[in-house]
Each structure stands twice: as C-alpha cells, then as structure tokens.
Structure 1
Amino acid sequence: MDPTRTGAPRTGSGTRPGIGVSGSDRPRLARHVRLSFCRTRRCQVLLHPETVVVLNGSGADILGLCDGRHTVAEIVAELGARYRAVPDDEVRQFLARLVARRWVELTDG
C-alpha cells in the first residue's frame, strides 16, 4: 500500500515493482518539465533541463492531458474518443516510465 497522503504528489513511489499508476491518479508535468511545440522538428517535445525528448503523436496527446485535473481513467477515455483503440495498460506504463524519471508527478484522486 502506498503511504502517501491523499492529494500529496508522488514522484518515484508509484513505479516500484508491483505498484503501478492507478486510474484515479491525476498526472501532471513536474515543475522543471515543459511540453512545447518545436517548429524545427514540427512536433511536440518534452523539455527537461539539458534534455529534449521528441514525442510521437500519442505520447504528446497523453502529456497534453496531464494537467493535474484529469485522472488517468479520464485520459484513457478522452483518447478512446479520439482514436479507435487505446490500451489502458500502455498509457499507464508510459506514465509510469515518466514518473520514474521524475518528469511526471502523480496526485492521488
């Protein structure tokens, strides 16, 4: 069980083996990370100090909804409305990897 209080941000604790991102978690970008459009590359990028991560379309769509208001379940539902099939587990794994890198923070729903 996660000892984090309700409403408190979680950074790396949600990605330990056996613990995943739940549907009620509310992801948001960490304070030192920005989502931006790169005119040169003509795509969304994740800007982190000394790092630029070029995102594919689905990654950019997921992170565009990571505002701390949407739950993971709402993000999956929104993407499901835009596209035919959105694997819930793939969205959770993507977010778990970003939480592990401390680029995304989770708040309990």
Structure 2
Amino acid sequence: MNTPTNVNAQAADKRGPKLSSLFRLQWEPAQDAHVLLYPEGMVKLNQSAAQILLRCDGTRDLPTLIAELEQTFNAKGLAPEVEAFVDHARSRGWLE
C-alpha cells in the first residue's frame, strides 16, 4: 500500500534553509553589524552568523551552502558548526 506523501514537505526538503518572513536581515551601521529585525526587537549577529544567514534564501540546500562558505573563506570542515547554527536558528524561528 502506498503511503500518501506531503508534496509541500517534499518541496521544503529540496529547498535550503530560508529566513522566516517574520524577520528581516540587514546591515545596521549603528551596530556595525548585521542584525535580524523582528516586531519585538533586534538580534545583533556576529560575522559568522550573518554570513550563514545571508545565504539562507531557500535556493541552496545545506551541503551547497556549506561548500560555498568553505570556498569563500578558504576553510574546510565547517559543516558541524554551520549545521549547529542552522539548527539553532531554526529553533529560534529565524529559519523556515
């Protein structure tokens, strides 16, 4: 017997992480940093977090995002840290 599949869930799995529509990521000169703005306030991001979130636009899956970061910053072995941050961002509701 075939189990019905959720087409939306399958599509979400193929997309990469995407910033939640409840948040806006922008450079804030007064903070000299990227920030996440949301109705209740603001989250100041460190450079690593900002670089990850800037790439979370739903067009890259996580392995592609990690490979891009490793190439951009000439670094290897970023996967565990990037995956941990993406999990944290999802738990905070920053990512869909």
**Higher CA-based Rg:** 2
CA deviation after TM superposition for structure 1 residue 77, in Å: 0.6
CA deviation after TM superposition for structure 1 residue 25, in Å: 5.5
Identity of aligned residues (%): 34
State the alpha-carbon separation in 2 of the partners of residues 25 and 76 from structure 1.
Answer: 14
User: Quick check: which one's helix share is greater?
Assistant: 2
* Structure 1 runs (4+) greater than 4 angstroms displaced: none
Q: Which runs of 5+ in 1 are unaligned?
A: 10-23
Count residues with an aligned counterpart. Answer: 89
Q: Which has the higher contact order (CA 8 A, sep 6+)?
A: 1
The equivalent residue for 2:70 is 80
Summarize the alignment of residues 1-109 of structure 1 with structure 2, pairs less than 5 Å apart.
5-8=9-12, 26-86=16-76, 87-105=78-96
Normalising to structure 2: TM-score of the pair?
0.82
CA deviation after TM superposition for structure 1 residue 84, in Å: 2.9
State the alpha-carbon separation in 2 of the partners of residues 37 and 65 from structure 1.
Answer: 14
The equivalent residue for 1:16 is none
Alpha carbons 2:23, 2:94 under 8 Å: kept: yes
